[in-house]
Amino acid sequence: MIKPDRHTNPDYSVINISAFVLTQLNTQYSIGYDDLMKKVKNSLGEHAAENYPYALNLLFILGKLIYNHESDAFKLIDET
């Protein structure tokens, strides 16, 4: 559900979830997939879980995230 329609709640949009994920990664060095999903659900609501994978995909495409398979965690890519 990347393309919104008139019934789409902006709080559950891919852009909003992506911004929330970036905020969480700015405050923590690394965060696990399940932990991040819990934070998204607690802060944005249960319906945000539907677009959570799409938000992560968007951040990967933009080159903002890196995924560590061993620890099952995400890190923010440092662009400096």
Question: DSSP H helical segments within the chain, as ranges?
Answer: 14-27, 33-44, 52-61
| Residue ranges making up the domain that contains 16 | 10-76
Q: Is residue 5 part of a domain?
A: no
Q: Is residue 1 part of a domain?
A: no
CA torsion angle for 61, 30, 26, 78 (degrees, to 10)?
A: -60
Instruction: Give the number of domains in the chain.
Output: 1
pLDDT in tens, 27-61: 988 999 999 999 999 999 999 999 999 999 999 99
CATH label of the domain that carries residue 36? 1.10.10
pLDDT of amino acid 5:
75
Q: Is residue 2 part of a domain?
A: no
